[in-house]
Chains A and B, each alone.
Chain A
Amino acid sequence: MIKENVVCPFCGCLCDDIVITVEDGHITKTKNTCAISKSKFVNHEKNALKSSMVDNKEVPLEKALDEASEILKNADFPLIYGLSSTECEAQRHAIHLAEILGATIDQTASVCHGPTILGTMDAGCVKCSLGEVKNRADLIVYWGCNPAEAHMRHFRRYSVYPEGLFRKDKKSRKTVVVDVRKTPSARIADEFIMIEPGTDFEILSMMRAHLKGRSTPLSDEYISLLEMMKDCEFGILFFGLGLTMSRGKHVNVDAAIRLVRDLNEYTKFSITPMRGHYNVTGAGSTMAWITGYPFAVNFSQGYPVHGPGEFSAVDVLARKECDAALIIASDPVANFPADSWKHLADIPTIVMDPKISLTSKLAKVSIPVATAGIEAEGTAYRMDGVPLRLKKVIDTTRLSDAQILSALIQRVIA
């Protein structure tokens, strides 16, 4: 069976033109996928978490849910973390569960584009949907990101190559890459600037100052970039972890937003973060509309309190504050600092995941779930905030994240 217009549940590009061939209940072929997406679909069944486990022993789902709800009910300071690789319905249940428990809830933006959110809180955001870039942009700047390897269809679908309303092809646009090394993305760019690591804030601030007519020691390549930015008709600055996770973090983003803000005195210019996980934007959205805050929220007072650094997962774990953890669709052991993830081994940790992960290996309870976007429907938000409906392309007996969380809520309030 062939399924068309499938939404890819991998990266923030959320490509929705994927064609999937299903034979005998297995995904055998894909079309329009990038290498990463193809691998995600075709290898979907590999490494699956086969059964619910408690203390490394296979148990029926009901037993795992009972155990998980007891852990959560008995905890004084539980942590719920993950969310970015599941659907919004699951995220909404997870937030509800956190509220019921008086828990801390955080999502993976905390360790990638959290600084982007902090920059937005300080300076606002001047953004546009990706179609605006395709239709109008004559200058595309990628700063501290490498779409050729991380968002593989970004160039083709949204920015450099596609035919747009007012731009017909690559020739009608200029592409600039700013990065600390000559990445594969830099190779397709018309211009590449090798930035000295750790100087983003300085450079962006000097560009602003230069724009305002102040004298600065800004080097020629940035002066010429600034001139291009000022003179284009519609510019876009895409940025990634090179800006958010290098020295300066949110102040880097703040400086970039302010530069773009100022450029709008001269022309039309927007700035958009290259969000990683396919629904990390959704995680920020659901948390914001339910609590007011997009990440790092604590409910122990009966209402949401926001505290990056205070209630972000890495910090809560490093300080060994939480006494239980529920990890949803994420693998913190694989990417948190050792001081943080080690605490997950010392407390009862519950993992909900379709796959075996480093985190599931040390979890007290692990619950296999349907993969959102492959085995379960739901909503996901593209990196620019466009909401799309994830498809169910194959059947499974496993429950979705939303169903498991709903069952946990029922048990916790019973």
Chain B
Amino acid sequence: MSLVIKNGTVYDPLNNIHGENLDIFVDNGKIVEELQVKNPKEIDASGLIVFPGGVEVHTHVAGSKVNIARIMRPEDHRKDVVKKTPHKRSGTGYTVPSTFTIGYRYAEMGYTTIWEAAAPPLGARHTHEELIDIPIVDKGFFVLLGSNYFILKHVEEDNFPALKNYVAWIMDATKGYAVKIVNPGGVESWKWGKNVTSLDDTVQNFEVTPREILTNLARAVDELHLPHSIHVHCNNLGSPGNYEITKETIGTLEPYRRHITHIQFNSYAGEDWASFSSGGSEIAKVLNSTDKVTCDVGQVIFGDATTMTADGPWQHTLYKLSGNKWANSDVEMETGAGIVPYKFKKKNFVNAIQWTIGLEVMLLTEDPFKVFMTTDHPNAGPFYFYPQVIQLLMSKSYRDEMLSQVHDMARERSVLESIDREYTLSEVATVTRAGPAQALGTAEKGHLGVGADADISLYDFREDAIEKSFKKAVYTIKDGHIVVKDGEVVKDYMGRTYCLDVKGELSDEEKEIFSKYYTVQLANYAVEDVYLPRKEVVPCR
């Protein structure tokens, strides 16, 4: 199908286009120089802004922990029901939406690619099954390896070649896309009810430290040329004073590429809850002065959230702090997970400070290619609140208004009030499209240059109603198809699932360990191609 998007104001930061009136040509799902066909379909984009399709760099939308959260939170779904339409399946929303609803809500907001941030390898098949039921958007997931038995063993035995080979094997076996590390070592220790709290603690029963896990995996990922760097949820997440370990983690990973995720949750100063304060400006300083590091922010949205991470010990702590219901799910040989419902309250002083920290990091980090907008959905709030975050970034007066509504302590213990910066539309396009696409190594995403996937979103942007402008795209175009019009899905569509062109072989010793200590047969472990109905293999080079 051919398409021309005429007279829109185009924002395409990767191609250095910042609000120019341009026509965009689309043919066969790709952006092209010009069209050969006569009378192609035209979209009159006058008065509209034209962005590349949104790229979600970190979200929890598919797989076992998300589904446990759905099962344990009926109260979450009842208040937010989604009716079927001729083009949409029905579902439920709020913090842990059903799969179809997830696809529709991202698409209606102008997002066309999303990345599930944490899948246990043993549950990879499950994650893929849910991804199949997330329509419209392209998708893929990150594989939890930070407490994997084989990783710990190879680190302990100082056998880097074996570790690198194992990483290649498991990425292929799971059909995942990137290496995720959560509370390195701490998740294994949690299997005995313990944790690690510094980069040099040793993991329970292993002569291995978090620092060694991080650096070995970062090196393996770089040497294997995986498109995305390691994706790190640091140790001590959620704890006062943890900005120190975040700084140390970024530093110790020199010279490797690294992405620090939901960095807001790891940018806390203070010594305890009473002295809790923002470490956001400290973290921004590190980001400003360090190369080969990116992060996403995990901005707090006031209201309901469902916290879910592989960080079992932290989720247990949060259960103790909140008194809310708690799920824990440990996975043999690999990882674990915890889930706790949570509510961020404006008048809770810790929550109010957390809210300022995400904004501080985003506003004080100079290069928007280093820091990306997320809410770590649904940990800090649902993804469909992104338009509110955009308004906070673009409008100092809106920030000040919000700041005046939250606990007073937020003013005293952060520097947010003193920051005048307001994001431009190009910067918004960077932190929601160009930056994440570049960090993920997806060359055909996040921009509108010739050869890019024709994933495009058009908005009716109004400076006096920024949040409203980004809530619903006027058009979302996926692979050249109009999938959303006037904020409503108008076409059912199946996106791609990304995986990697990477190969490894298990050694005889690894095979023996597998057959002894897993409870499934090795022959039944690897994910079959049938789970990737639109498989897209990305080369590693």
Contacts and interface: CB of A to CB of B under 8 A. Distances in A.
> Do A and B actually bind?
yes
B326 A389 contact: no
Nearest to B92: A292
Interface string B497-541: 000000000000000000011111101100010100000000000
Contacts of B125: 379, 387-389
A61 interface: no
Interface stretch (A156-164, A242-250, A316-324, A367-375): A156-164
Contact of B328 (A92, A127, A158, A386): A127
B328 A290 contact: no
B325 A132 contact: no
Interface stretch (A200-208, A261-269, A330-338): A261-269
Given A129-B332, A264-B193, A134 B130 contact: no
Contacts of B96: 292
Nearest to A291: B98
A386 B327 contact: no
B466 interface: no
A131 B513 CA distance: 13
Contacts, number: 184
Given A124-B327, A134-B332, A302-B90, A289 B523 contact: no
Interface in B62-100: 62, 64, 66-68, 70-74, 76-78, 81-84, 89-92, 96-100
A125 interface: yes
A292 B521 CA distance: 31
B444 to A, nearest CB: 28
B98 A289 contact: yes
Interface stretch (A115-123, A141-149, A339-347, A353-361): A115-123
A123 B516 CA distance: 34
A125 B123 contact: no
Nearest to A92: B133
B91 A264 contact: no
Nearest to B80: A292
A56 to B, nearest CB: 36
Interface string A263-284: 0100110100000000000001
Interface residues of B, number: 62
Contact of B100 (A121, A122, A285, A290): A290
B316 interface: yes
Contacts of A130: 332, 519
A136 interface: yes
Contacts of B326: 124, 126, 261
B523 A303 contact: no
B333 interface: yes
Contact of A303 (B62, B81, B520): B81
Contacts of B100: 290
A117 B71 CA distance: 8
B289 to A, nearest CB: 41
Interface in B330-347: 330-333, 336, 339-340
Given A126-B328, A233-B192, A385-B329, A288 B71 contact: yes
Interface in B157-196: 191-193
Chain A contact-residue range equals 35 or more
Which of A7, A122, A127, A377 counts the most chain B CB atoms within 10 A? A127
B126 A121 contact: no
Contacts of B205: 166
B98 A290 contact: yes
Contacts of A379: 125, 129
A122 B519 contact: no
Contact of A290 (B91, B193, B530): B91
B90 A157 contact: no
A288 B133 contact: no
Contact of B89 (A126, A268, A290): A290
A291 B71 contact: no
Nearest to B320: A265
Contacts of A126: 326-328
A294 interface: yes
A284 B126 CA distance: 13
A95 to B, nearest CB: 9
A303 B90 contact: yes
A306 interface: yes
Interface string A17-32: 1000000000000000
Contacts of B437: none
A164 B40 CA distance: 64
Which of A92, A99, A289, A385 counts the most chain B CB atoms within 10 A? A289
B71 to A, nearest CB: 5
Given A120-B72, A131-B333, A291 B91 contact: yes
Given A4-B523, A16-B524, 8 more contacts: A5-B521, A132-B330, A135-B517, A268-B193, A289-B98, A290-B98, A291-B91, A303-B92
Across the A-B interface, give the 8 residue pairs with the lowest CB-CB distance, nearest first: A131-B332, A292-B92, A124-B325, A292-B77, A128-B330, A387-B125, A303-B81, A131-B519
Interface of B: 62, 64, 66-68, 70-74, 76-78, 81-84, 89-92, 96-100, 122-123, 125-126, 129-130, 133, 149, 191-193, 205, 316, 319, 325-333, 336, 339-340, 516-521, 523-524, 528, 530
22 contacts: A92-B133, A122-B325, A124-B327, A126-B327, A131-B333, A132-B191, A134-B519, A136-B191, A234-B191, A261-B326, A264-B328, A289-B129, A289-B130, A289-B133, A292-B77, A293-B70, A302-B90, A303-B92, A379-B129, A385-B329, A387-B123, A388-B524
Interface of A: 4-5, 7, 16-17, 88, 92, 96, 99, 117, 120-132, 134-136, 157-158, 163-166, 233-234, 261, 264, 267-268, 270, 284-286, 288-294, 299, 301-306, 377, 379, 381, 385-389
